[in-house]
Amino acid sequence: MSGSLVLPTSAGYAMDRLLYNSKFVDLRPQAIAYCASSDDVARCVDFVTSHGIDVAARSGGHSYGGYSNSSGVVIDVSRMASVSVDTQANTATVGAGAQLIDVYNVIGKSDRLLPGGSCPTVGIAGLTLGGGIGVFGRKYGLTCDNLQSIGIVTADAKYLTADAQNNSDLLWACQGGGGGNFGVATSFQFGVHVMPEISLFTLQYPWSVASDMLGAWQEWIVSMPDEIWSNCQLLSEGTSGYLAQMSGVFCGSLAELNSLLAPLKSAMATPPIGNFVGSNDYVSAMEIEASCSGLTVASCHLPSQNPDGRLGRSAYSAKSSYVNGPMTTVQLAQIVEAVVNLKTHAPTIGGGLAFDAYGGAINRIASDQTAFVHRDKLACIQATYSWSTYAPTSVIAAGQTWLTWLGSNIFDPLTGAYQNYIDPTLVDWQTAYYGDNLAHLERVKSKYDPANVFSFAQSIPVWS
């Protein structure tokens, strides 16, 4: 290898084995291979297949299910993190280990934009392979919708390029089929977009009108142009109380945004208690969405990933669902009560429900055009709760009980779930994540990984 190998006896092993989610503290792989090239990856794949050793791919290490880890070998691609932009062709070539904050920084300096997620330390590989919802999705589509080609090492230890002309079935599967299923991605080529003018907003309301706020938001967003994306958050903030807010990003001017917000504000009988509308540049906007506003790009990393990094790991659990259409008054009340339920049973931890708007460019793509099948949704719901290092196990367990209750009583399993919020507790996850695209994904899996080398608890099964 031109990269390096970390073993349990190595000095850095205790830190190198960790994932972003600090609840996965007991994972102990036999080795972590920091690959510096596709050839390194191929050597690792050949080794594990020759010796019958379990393997997992790791980019940013953000898998909600801890699937960025293995009891055998972890193939870590974080050293393949270069980002380059061709402004003539409007394309970006990105190493599979690049983190989002660095992707946005380099592409933004070229006055271009790639739609993607908000967390700064998420790896581009996992985000793209599972879909990639983000604040520019309604205008420019998911991250995977902008994927033009992928470089990937498959189970036979061969490097392949998958694009519209070569291995197009593999490209299709990598556009939402989920990370770690078909091989180890090493590079991506994306189409990028000329930078628009960017404006942001946040509106906060008293908790007493949270149901009205969510109802107004869902009616408003479906009438909005593609240029505006928004989410609606109903949160329990532990001892700080509740938070009810709507926020969003608009590709356009402040005057246009204020005009679009007017009917949303008018739909609320109660005035907002917090009202921000402002313009920003791309990287700064993404830093705000990533909750690292005011920090340098270097600081928006973990200290283990960048010596100037100031971000920390966090412990959390999550569950997702979808909204197919406007919710009824009864359903809106149930959503608000669900957050009250969390605060009642776990008053010291933070969590709640966030609704991310779909529509626009996301929904104009046919459900079978890419592996990402969720093309008819009004919004995705992400339920989360997080805890500190000092939280007692009883509090953590109460949060998990809440998630389980949500899945059984509030979420409609027929609407599906988002594969990038992968959920180890989901029973019929195959249908929830992939719907009618599952059989196609299984056939692609059988072609490129017939021995099921890349296997984990919720990996695409081999066609049978």
Q: Where are the chain's structural domains?
A: 4-76, 83-195+437-448, 198-280+314-430
Is it the case that residue 464 has pLDDT exceeding 80? no
Taking a C-beta distance cutoff of 8 angstroms, is the pair 53, 73 a contact? yes
**Whole-model pTM over 0.95:** yes
CATH of domain 83-195+437-448: 3.30.465.10
pLDDT of 62 reads 97
Phi then psi dihedrals of residue 276, to 5 deg:
-125, 130
**φ/ψ of residue 21, rounded to 5:** -80, 115
Q: Given its phi and psi angles, is residue 398 left (phi above 0), alpha (psi -120 to 50 degrees) or beta?
A: alpha
pLDDT attached to residue 282: 87
For residue 383, what pLDDT band results from cuts at 50, 70 and 90? very high
Sign of CA dihedral 16, 82, 67, 185: negative
Give CA–CA dist 227/138, Å, rounded: 7
**What is d(CA 439, CA 67) in angstroms, rounded to the nearest whole number?**
22
Cβ proximity of 79 and 36 under 8 Å: yes
Kindly state the DSSP code that residue 353 receives in the 8-state scheme.
E
Average pLDDT, the chain: 96
Distance from C-alpha of 174 to C-alpha of 460, rounded to nearest angstrom: 12
Q: Name every residue whose Cβ is closer than 8 Å to that of residue 355 and which is 6 or more positions away in sequence.
A: 214, 217, 218, 231, 232, 233, 323, 379, 380, 381
Q: Does domain 4-76 fall into CATH 3.30.200.20?
A: no
Of residues 305 and 334, which shows the higher confidence score?
334
Pick the CATH number of 198-280+314-430 from 3.40.630.30, 2.120.10.80, 3.30.460.20, 3.40.462.20: 3.40.462.20
In this prediction, residue 290 carries a pLDDT of 83
